[in-house]
Amino acid sequence: MRISITHNTTYKYNDSVFLDPHIIRLKPKCDASQELISFEIEIDPVPDGTAEIVDVAGNDSICAWFSGKHGHLHFTTRSVVNTRRKNPYDYIITEPGVSKIPAFYPKYYVPALRAFMSRNTEPDGPMDKFVFKIFEESGPDTMAFLAALNTHIYNDIEQVIRHEGPPYPAEVTLGYGRGSCRDLTMLFIEACRSVGLAARFVSGYREAEIMSGERQLHAWAEVYLPGGGWRGYDPSNGLAVADSHVTVAAGVVPEEASPVSGSYRGSGARSIIDFEIDIKAEITDEEEADTR
């Protein structure tokens, strides 16, 4: 599926401020699941300079730096992406230790995955009780467990819109019984880590969600499965990720996938953020042929 995205983000300040360097993570990834056809960015005020970089989490990013004082900061990005993964289950798990729960990766995987496996919940606490309930239903098969976890969060945790603030800790979301897409994503991630699976936080776009009027970045999780690589699960929609999702950034923690990171300096200054996302999905000739 070919997806065109225009993303506008504006920060307005109640007084002129000095802008510190900003890192912009709004360039979609180009990998086995999606092809980046084109990308452009406009920044206002015009920065003194920009550098295209790969950040610590491996995301293609842009560093922009400024001089002088300004009353706003505006970004417009335009992207065209061809998503390739029609079947989210087009793989097999090649390591027996990861095909069952609890998961055990081969030793040579661990140095690269250790941070993605590090849990932030206490053993024998609410998270383990939540996970055990799912395990009783799914059995030890890893793919069955992931599907059941995704479905449980979708069905049992109420999704709400919360535009600002970091994700809640997973056990807080469990206690509330509700959360935003990023809260549900962190719950999914911590549940995976509690059974030995490497999981990470992903930000991006979902075509159906934007078309329905939810004009904001979306969040979901990815789990590393040998033989399948990083595979996406969207607990806000109860879906395994396929070609309607566009991945922009990913990281061990949500901050590594934040669309914009930076600060400003000004006595008593405050900021207001406004954003708008327009997205259009096009069915290619090949996809039309597949549906006939």
pLDDT tens-place string over residues 119-169: 999 999 999 999 999 999 999 999 999 999 999 999 999 999 887 789 999
- Cα 117 off chain centre by: 17
pLDDT tens-place string over residues 193-239: 999 999 999 999 998 765 555 557 899 999 999 999 999 999 999 99
Give the whole-angstrom CA distance, residue 256 versus residue 56: 8
Same domain? For 17 and 38 the reply is yes
Same domain? For 106 and 214 the reply is yes
Using the 8-state DSSP alphabet, how is residue 166 labeled?
Answer: P
Same domain? For 215 and 118 the reply is yes
Tokens of 42: 């406009």
pLDDT at residue 292, as a whole number: 36
Give the whole-angstrom CA distance, residue 163 versus residue 217: 10
pLDDT tens-place string over residues 279-290: 776 655 445 444
| CB-count exposure of residue 69 (10 Å: 0-12, 13-18, 19+) | middle
pLDDT tens-place string over residues 38-53: 999 999 999 999 999 9
pLDDT at residue 284, as a whole number: 56
Element (H, E) at 126: helix 126-138
Same domain? For 63 and 132 the reply is no
The boundaries of the domain holding residue 157 are 96-242
Q: Give the list of residues 6+ apart from residue 236 with CB closer than 8 angstroms, or none.
A: 154, 159, 181, 184, 185, 218, 219, 220
pLDDT at residue 214, as a whole number: 55
Domain count, the chain: 2
pLDDT at residue 288, as a whole number: 46
45: preceding bond cis by omega (within 30 degrees): yes
Overall average pLDDT of the 56-72 stretch: 97
**Nearest-10 crossing angle of helices 142-156, 181-194:** 150
Closest to 202 measured CA to CA, from 159, 251, 239: 251
Does residue 252 sit within a domain?
no
Give the whole-angstrom CA distance, residue 223 versus residue 198: 6
Same domain? For 137 and 233 the reply is yes
pLDDT tens-place string over residues 80-126: 999 999 999 999 999 999 999 999 999 999 999 999 999 999 999 99
Q: Rounded to two decimals, what is the model's pTM?
A: 0.93
Q: What is the CATH number of the domain that holds 129?
A: 3.10.620.30
Q: For all residues of the chain together, what is the average pLDDT? A: 92
Give the whole-angstrom CA distance, residue 17 versus residue 11: 11
Does residue 77 sit within a domain?
yes
Dihedral over alpha carbons 174, 179, 182, 186 (to 10 degrees): 0
For residue 82, count other CB atoms closer than 10 A to its CB. 16
SS3 label, residue 193: helix
Q: Yes or no: say if 10 and 275 are a contact pair by the CB < 8 Å rule.
A: yes
Does residue 254 sit within a domain?
no
Does residue 206 sit within a domain?
yes
Does residue 253 sit within a domain?
no
pLDDT at residue 290, as a whole number: 46
Overall average pLDDT of the 52-68 stretch: 97
Give the whole-angstrom CA distance, residue 154 versus residue 132: 17
